[in-house]
Structure 1
Amino acid sequence: MVHGTHNALEDSRNKDIKIYINGDFFSREDAKISVFDSGYLVGDGIWEALRLHNGVLVFLEDHFERLWQAAATVGMQFPFTQKELEAEVWKVLKINNMYDDVHVRIMITRGIKKTPSQDPRLTISGPNVVIVPEFKQASIESKEKGITLFTSTIRRGSPDYLDPRLNCHSKLHEVQALVQAIEAGADEALMLDINGFVSTCNATNFFIIKNNEVWTSTGEYCMNGITRAKVIEACEKNNIICKQKNFSLFDVYGADEAFVTGTFGGLTPVTKIDGRPIGNKNYGDFTRKLSDLYNELIKLYIINSK
């Protein structure tokens, strides 16, 4: 059975969801995109993931700011505003009768190509917009169990050729890292930066706890995680020392606790790295405290949004 940070409880409603493609709705079986789509041909696309809690799209502004930054980075022009895209997302949620415990994936590619090519000038349509909503509640059992990591030989790249902060469809290097981890018997991959310091995981951001301090990477070579930023914010608000710094596997193996962060799973504890146990509990007390503080930020956001 697959185990990892995206473990979700089974929900039979997902077989009947309606998926949005360029303003139209399709069943899961009929939701298709052209083989000439830029994303399919060359990975020329960007994406964002949102959570719907209690009728509120949590941290929406942060997610849309990241999406628009990604578009600017790859030179993609949107024919819609943030408000207009938000309205489309709400249409998707309404037609699917969704209110709580929902994960929304927004995928935008440059469009349809005239012929297979990476040249953006051969794009003959506007951007393709796909919105996939699913009823997804994170598995509490998986969180209590924690995950194991394996340090991949695949490095997080330098920002001068593919900035790790960019949420793009080109994820092959992360898939390669995860394949290595799976073959090594771990759940997910830990990735180092080009200098050999700990950067991030294949799909989540990475933190350790040492001597009541929270450590995470500098942010130069890791994903621009919204949850990562919220954990740092929660630490600042609660007078918890949180350092964004370079550190190595030497520090990781001697950590008191470790955890990863992501939009879907929130904070997920790490129990082993490269076969070495981390801490003495599956779900450490400090990690649990930080998870509670993160959830308080979500609750506050929901209250302020209503």
Structure 2
Amino acid sequence: MLQKFDERNRDLIVNINGQLMHRDKAGISPFDSAVQGGDAVWEGLRLYDGRIFKLHEHLDRLERSADALSFAEIPSREKIVEELKRTLAANKMRDGVHIRLTLSRGVKLTSGMDPRLNQSGPTLIVLAEHKAPVYAKTGLTLITSKIRRPPPEVLDARIHHANLLNSILAKI
């Protein structure tokens, strides 16, 4: 199912490392690990009546994923929750919202895959959008893709990482 653009999202305020800015002004460094190698973890959160559904479970998984990737630093839960609240307040959001919470290993000194090049701390991105859940109300058509996920000995599926190429290739 194709997601539809909601006009209320045209003037969103996004949060990058605690800096609130219009979506059109937002950006991260080309040296950020998310750009350099998809080296980031993320959670998709839903906001219902001013409350984030299963917030603590999502933060648990975010921390487990960052730990599994040996992130040297992870923001405190209190800091993450504070930035979530600031972003939602800046956008006057209370319901029908999807939040993409992303944590990258941070900005590298120079391009490369070695995590030792990261010496500035993680990058925290909070993107909250007015977005209804994408659920079929009348049934689904099943399609089996020829694209396969890597086996667990190659990439542990329990790590909620930002490398979604398998999913993207399956949709092409």
Q: What is the TM-score with the length of structure 2 in the denominator? A: 0.92
1:127 matched to 2:122: yes
- Report the counterpart of residue 78 of structure 1 in structure 2: 73
What letter is aligned with 1:21?
I
- Report the counterpart of residue 59 of structure 1 in structure 2: 54
In the TM superposition, 1:274-293 aligns within 5 A as none
Greater gyration radius: 1
Q: For structure 1, which segment, 69-78 or 142-151, has the greater mean C-alpha deviation from structure 2 after superposition?
A: 142-151
1:175 matched to 2:150: no
Secondary structure of 2:34's aligned partner: helix
1:117 matched to 2:112: yes
1:17 matched to 2:12: yes
How far apart are the structure 2 equivalents of 1:75 and 1:55?
A: 33
In the TM superposition, 1:160-199 aligns within 5 A as 160-179=153-172
- Report the counterpart of residue 94 of structure 1 in structure 2: 89
Asked whether the equivalents of residues 101 and 125 of structure 2 are also in contact (C-alpha less than 8 Å), the reply is yes
Task: Give the Å deviation of 1:116.
Answer: 1.5
Task: Give the Å deviation of 1:156.
Answer: 2.4
Q: What is the TM-score with the length of structure 1 in the denominator? A: 0.53
Aligned length: 172
Identical-residue share of aligned pairs (%): 36
How far apart are the structure 1 equivalents of 2:24 and 2:141?
A: 34
What letter is aligned with 2:154?
Y
Structure 2: stretches of 5+ with no match in the other structure: none
How far apart are the structure 2 equivalents of 1:126 and 1:164?
A: 25
Task: Give the Å deviation of 1:77.
Answer: 3.2
- Report the counterpart of residue 151 of structure 1 in structure 2: 144
CA deviation profile, 1:52-72 (whole Å, cap 9, x unmatched): 000110111111111011011
Secondary structure of 1:103's aligned partner: strand
Task: Give the Å deviation of 1:40.
Answer: 0.6
Which one scores higher on RCO, CA 8 angstroms, separation ≥ 6? 2
Task: Give the Å deviation of 1:149.
Answer: 3.1
2:24 equivalent among 20, 23, 29? 29
What letter is aligned with 1:136?
K
- Report the counterpart of residue 192 of structure 1 in structure 2: none
Secondary structure of 1:29's aligned partner: helix
How far apart are the structure 2 equivalents of 1:150 and 1:80?
A: 39
Secondary structure of 1:148's aligned partner: coil
